[in-house]
Amino acid sequence: MENQKDINYYLELPYTFQVKRVEDDGTVYYWASVKELDGCHTSGVTWEEAYTELLTVFRTHLEIKLEYGDPIPEPGQEEYSGKFNLRVPKSLHRELAIRAAEENVSLNQYCLYKLSR
């Protein structure tokens, strides 16, 4: 546990709290979770109850992780390569390639332009 950060460090980080309305067989409840922390979730009858309970669960979750020296993911640690593969119908591929050629740009540049609009 060398250089272990304390509970206050983690409580100050901008974790993503999510509360969602759920309907199951006519019963409505609210499911609350911390996006970055697997297993850190709870529920409540109202939105406020679920959120309030999540604050308690969040702190307890962190305390247990710290007690056992388990790694605690921090928000914003995701890294993106800037690449992803996308399969499209041949007809769309053809149309995009033709339009890119008409604009005198690569297919990649044309698609990036279209996605960013």
- pLDDT at residue 81, as a whole number: 83
Q: Exposure of 105 by Cβ count < 10 A (0-12 exposed, 13-18 middle, 19+ buried)? A: middle
Count of domains forming the chain = 2
pLDDT tens column, 62-88? 999 999 999 999 998 667 788 888 899
Which pLDDT band, with edges at 50, 70 and 90, does 1 fall under? very low
Instruction: Tell me whether residue 75 is in a domain.
Output: no
pLDDT tens column, 86-112? 899 999 999 999 999 999 999 999 999
On whether both 86 and 51 belong to a single domain, the answer is no
On whether both 64 and 104 belong to a single domain, the answer is no
Domain with 29 in it: 7-68
